[in-house]
Amino acid sequence: MNLLIKSATIIDPNSPFNQKIADVLIEKGIITQIAPEIETDTEIFEAEGKYISPGFFDLNCNIGEPGLETKEDLYTGTEAAAAGGFTGIALMPNTVPPVHSKSEIEYILNRSKKNLVDVYPLGAISHKREGKDLAEMYDMYLSGAKAFSDGNRPVQDAGLMERALLYAQGFDALIFSYPEDTAIAGKAKVNEGEVSTLLGMKGIPSLAEELMIARDLYLAEYTVSRIHFSTVSTTRSVELIREAKRRGLEVTCDVAAHHLVLTDEALLGFDSQYKVKPPLRTRDDVDALIAGLKDGTIDAIVSQHTPHEVEFKNVELEVAEFGSIGLQTALPLALKAGLDISLIVEKMAVNPRKILNVDIPIIAVGKEANFVLFDADEVWEYNKKNNRSRSYNSPFIGHNLIGKVLLTCNNNQSFK
C-alpha cells in the first residue's frame, strides 16, 4: 500500500507529531516520511481539516463465528470494524460452541490471519460459560488468548471468580467482569425507574450492577489481581471504581458508546432496537459516565457490537433479544457525547490496547501504518446500504450522524 495523506491533523499522544498538521507518506504499509510538505507521485488523499490517529481498538465485540454465522461472521464483522475505524477487536466468547478451549482460540486466529483488522479472541472464564468450573485458561493463553471473560454472562459464583483471578495472575492474564447480579436483575428488560413504570415493565435496578462491582473489587483486592469491568452504566458504579483506583487497586473499565448519548426514555416508543444490556439508564447516569471518562475513571469506550437476525429484534420489546450493532456508530456517538478528539483517541485507540497489553500503533516514521483518518464534522446517513454488518439491529439506521471514518489502514491494507 502506497499513499500520501496531505495536510492531516495528527492526534496521537505517543507521536512526536501530536497535534501537528503534516503530510504522511506510506510506502508498502510503512510510514516513511512525515513533514509539512511532501512531493511524490504516489496516490494522494487530501485530508485538510481531517484527523489521523492510531486505529481504534474495540474491547467488546460480538461476532457469531463459530456457530452463529447468520448473525455475523469474521468477514462481515471485520469489514464493519474497518468501516468504523477499528484496526483491532477483542471478541467475546459468546459463540456456539463458546470459546472455552484452545481449539476455538486457534480456529478464530487462523480464520482471521492476513486481515486488515487484528482479531483477539477472549477465552471463557468458565467451561461452556456455565459459571461452574474453570475453563482451560492456560491452554487458551498459550494459544493466543490475552484475557478471559464469560461474555454477557456474569460469573455469579464468588468462589469461581476468586479462583479465576488467582489462576490468571500466574501467567499475567486479565479477567473481564460483566457486572450483574442475576438474582437481583431477574428477568427484567429495562432500567428500573420512572420509564419502567410508564412502560408497565419490571425494571433492572442499578443495584444489580453495583453489587457485583463491589464484590469483584473486594475479590481483586483480596487476591491482589488485575480486573477489568465491561460496560459500566451507572453513577454508583463509576464512584465505586473511582474510589478503588484512588486506593491503588489495579482496576480498569469501559463504557458502551450508546450509553453516552441514550437514556431509558428512548424506550418510551417500545422500539426494541433500543433494548440493550446493561439497559439504557437515566440522564444522571449518562452525565456520570461522561464525567468518568474525562477524569480518567473510565478507561475505554467500546462498541458492544451485538448482531442479531431480524426475527430476534423486530418483535415486541418484551421478547426481543438484548443488543445492537455498534462498530460503525461508535465514533459518531463519542463525538455526540461532546468528547474532544484527543480524549476519543485515548479512550478508543490507546487505552484499550494498554488494557489488553498489545502493541500500540504510533504515527511516526518507520512505524507500520496502523491508523484511522476521519472527519469529525461530516454529516452522513447510516443506512442499510452502507452498513457493513450482516445484521441491521441498530436504532441509528436511517439517521444522520456526525463524524465519518474516511480511511482505515493496517497490515499493508486499506479500507475506504
Sorted by sequence, the CB contacts under 8 Å of residue 140 that are 6+ apart come out as 99, 100, 101, 102, 105, 123, 148
Half-sphere exposure of 85 (CA within 13 A, CB side): 29
* Burial class of residue 294 in the structure, from the number of CB atoms within 10 Å of its CB (0-12 exposed, 13-18 middle, 19+ buried): middle
pLDDT reported for residue 41: 87
Q: Could you count the other beta carbons within 10 Å of the beta carbon of residue 130?
A: 13
Residue 359 CB-half CA count within 13 A: 9
Residue among 300, 336, 403, 327 at smallest CA distance from 78: 327
CA pair distance 363, 13, nearest whole angstrom: 9
DSSP letter string over 86-101? Answer: EEEEEEPS-SSS-S-S
Report the first-to-last Cα separation within the chain, whole angstroms.
13
| Domains of the chain in sequence order | 56-356 (3.20.20.140)
Residue 70, pLDDT > 90, answer yes
Mean pLDDT in residue range 67-91:
97
d(CA 27, CA 412): 9
Q: Which of 284, 246, 244, 248 is nearest to 263 (CA)?
A: 284
Q: Identify the H or E element spanning 238.
A: helix 235-246
- Nearest CA to 197 out of 114, 103, 268, 284 is that of 268
- Return d(Cα 32, Cα 73) in angstroms, integer: 35
Q: What pLDDT is recorded for position 342?
A: 98
> Which pTM was predicted?
0.97
- For residue 88, report the phi and psi dihedrals to the nearest 5 degrees: -155, 140
What's the pLDDT tens digit per position in 286-323?
Answer: 999 999 999 999 999 999 999 999 999 999 999 999 99
Residue tagged 464534522 (cell numbers): 377
What's residue 365's pLDDT? 97
Handedness of CA 202, 206, 207, 212 (dihedral sign): positive
Please write the tens of the pLDDT for every residue from 214-253. Answer: 999 999 999 999 999 999 999 999 999 999 999 999 999 9
What pLDDT does 154 receive? 97
Cα 280 off chain centre by: 17
Residues 6 or more apart whose CB falls under 8 angstroms from that of 38 comprise 4, 23, 25
322-356 pLDDT, tens digit each: 999 999 999 999 999 999 999 999 999 999 999 99
Longest dimension (CA), the chain: 65
Please give the Cα distance from 232 to 210 (Å, whole number).
Answer: 9
CA distance 166 to 170: 7
pLDDT of residue 15: 97
- Percent of the chain exceeding pLDDT 70 equals 100
Q: Hey, what's the cell of 375?
A: 472527519
Q: Are 141 and 123 in contact (CB under 8 A)?
A: yes
In 3D space, the residue among 131, 127, 130, 111 whose CA is nearest the CA of residue 119 turns out to be 111
Q: 131: closest CA among 173, 104, 187, 93?
A: 93
The number of beta carbons lying within 10 Å of the beta carbon of residue 295 is 11
Per-residue model confidence (pLDDT) at position 1? 85
Closest Cα partner for 242 from 210, 264, 219, 278? 210
Summary count for the chain: helices (H), strands (E): 13, 18
pLDDT in tens, 133-179: 999 999 999 999 999 999 999 999 999 999 999 999 999 999 999 99
State pLDDT tens for residues 26-64: 999 999 999 999 998 899 999 999 999 999 999 999 999
* Contacts of 196-204 spanning 24+ positions with Cβ under 8 A: 196/264, 198/268, 199/267, 199/268, 199/270, 199/317, 201/317, 201/318, 203/279, 204/278, 204/279
Handedness of CA 383, 266, 344, 108 (dihedral sign): negative
> Is the predicted pLDDT of residue 207 greater than 90, yes or no?
yes
What is residue 193's DSSP assignment? Answer: S
β-pair type (371-382, 399-410):
antiparallel
Contact by Cβ (8 Å): 91, 99: yes
Find out whether 375 and 49 touch, Cβ atoms under 8 Å: yes
What is the predicted pLDDT for the residue at 131?
Answer: 95
Report the distance separating Cα 375 and Cα 47, nearest Å: 9
pLDDT value of residue 117: 98
